Amino acid sequence: TRTLDLAIIGGDGIGPEVTAEALKVLRVAVAGDATVTETAYPLGAEHYLATGEILDEATLEALAQHDAILFGAVGGDPRDPRLAGGIIERGLLLKLRFAFDHYVNLRPTFLAPGIASPLADPGSVDFVVVREGTEGPYVGNGGRFRQGTPHEVATEVSINTAFGIERVVRFAFAQAAARRQKLTLVHKTNVLVHAGALWQSVVDRVAPEFASVTVDYLHVDAATIFLATDPSRFDVIVTDNLFGDILTDLAAAIGGGIGLAASGNLNPDGAFPSMVEPVHGSAPDIAGQQKADPTAAILSAAILLDQQALPDAAARIRAAVLADLAERGSAPRRTSEVGDAIAARLR
Ligand code: NAD
Ligand code: IPM
Ligand code: MN
């Protein structure tokens, strides 16, 4: 059997709690298919406050050696001035996405049988957002000028390259071709005219290569309407880094809640390890109480296994999660109870 060499970054808040459950389930799911080795990396806001390290070069180098990374969530006390300016989010999470060229941020949404939707008439909800992961307004390009004066100016420059857009657009087309043949580009071409025109032109240029796929376009504001009123119209959405961030929290709500929303930061070329994580954050409001739903982390582990060419193990996890969702009811369960229940279905 093959080996699967994982780096584990639990992070802060509920991150370590949900990651423990994802690992618990992953270990059972791959038993027989792969031998798993796990190396834990104590990174995050807490680690930074204790040691001064956000993400050293040596740690980055060590992480690069693994097959894949299982990530929980990071983010400490928002009122702590030592963590101001998103230094952990930028210096750790975004640093990893950029350094490991995670140009695809894959975020699937589905409404499972048994799960209540906040929408009165959701119809069939089954779509994926392919969020660009290495460009856009996330690159940190910009600055504050004339700081402290009444004439202060702040800029946040979005970077969009033809190369960066084309690779994520191609991935999205391939996803659509393997699903229901529909791709929706979401942008704001009526206002963000420079970046919008580039995204549209790349989609138009690639489209003929995927003749079976119908291409659609929505402005991001209108996309939020249709996500809430008619989500079944969506199959694959491709969009930039920031629009994708916002739309996928909305998508999570549509799919039954943020505790169910999984994601994969993928380097499809395989030059660097991919990293999966729940869409949610460290949830300081419920941290340390075993209240978090680990399902998003568990489904993220399934994305990792798909990406690592272990599709049978991934499918087993999804089937166990679906069975758990169908019978879950409304009685609250502890984080570890959910993990135990899903792992038990795999045995
Ligand atoms: P959040 O996702 O942490 O929490 C939003 C709300 O959802 C909270 O009420 C929380 O209790 C709830 N929630 C989140 N995950 C849940 C789960 N698994 N089960 C049940 N309820 C859950 O978002 P936030 O409050 O905006 O951010 C908190 C911190 O997390 C910030 O520091 C932020 O920067 C960071 N963050 C990190 C990541 C990441 O590491 N990938 C993602 C988003 C936010
Ligand atoms: C997410 C998070 C991150 C993002 C933050 C914490 C940097 O919100 O993974 O969705 O904006 O990408
Ligand atoms: Mn987000």
From 83, 102, 132, 245, the mutation candidate for ligand 2 (largest count of ligand atoms within 8 A of CB) is 245
Beta strands in the chain (DSSP E): 2-11, 34-40, 68-73, 104-110, 126-132, 136-145, 153-159, 182-187, 214-219, 236-239, 262-266, 274-278
Burial class of residue 166, CB neighbours in 10 A (0-12, 13-18, 19+): middle
Give the model confidence (pLDDT) of 7-63 as tens digits. 999 999 999 999 999 999 999 999 999 999 999 999 999 999 999 999 999 999 999
- C-beta contacts of 307-312 below 8 A and 24+ residues apart: 307/68, 307/264, 307/266, 307/274, 307/276, 308/4, 308/67, 308/68, 310/4, 310/30, 310/33, 310/34, 312/33
Beta strands in 241-347 (DSSP E): 262-266, 274-278
- Taking 90 as the threshold, does the pLDDT of residue 136 lie above it? yes
The verdict on whether 188 is a catalytic residue reads yes
Other C-beta atoms closer than 10 Å to the C-beta of 278 total: 30
Percent above pLDDT 70 for the chain:
100
- Would you list the domain boundaries of the chain? 1-107+258-347, 117-255
Nearest protein Cα to ligand 1, atom 34: 75
The verdict on whether 249 is a catalytic residue reads yes
Give the model confidence (pLDDT) of 258-289 as tens digits. 999 999 999 999 999 999 999 999 999 999 99
Ligand lying closest to the C-alpha of residue 280:
1
Model confidence at 254, in pLDDT bands (50, 70, 90)?
very high
The verdict on whether 221 is a catalytic residue reads yes
Token pair of 186 as six digits: 């979401």
The verdict on whether 138 is a catalytic residue reads yes
Phi, psi of 189 (to 5 degrees): -70, -10
Give the model confidence (pLDDT) of 314-325 as tens digits. 999 999 999 999
176 marked ligand binding residue: no
pLDDT at 1: 85
pLDDT at 330: 86
Architecture of domain 1-107+258-347: 3-Layer(aba) Sandwich (3.40)
Of ligand 1's listed atoms, the one at least distance from the Cα of 83 is 32
Q: Is the CB of residue 89 below 6 angstroms from any atom belonging to ligand 2? A: yes
What is the average pLDDT value for the chain, to the nearest integer?
Answer: 97
Architecture of domain 117-255: 3-Layer(aba) Sandwich (3.40)
ipTM: 0.98
Report how far ligand 1's centroid is from the alpha carbon of 264 (Å): 17
Give the model confidence (pLDDT) of 154-204 as tens digits. 999 999 999 999 999 999 999 999 999 999 999 999 999 999 999 999 999
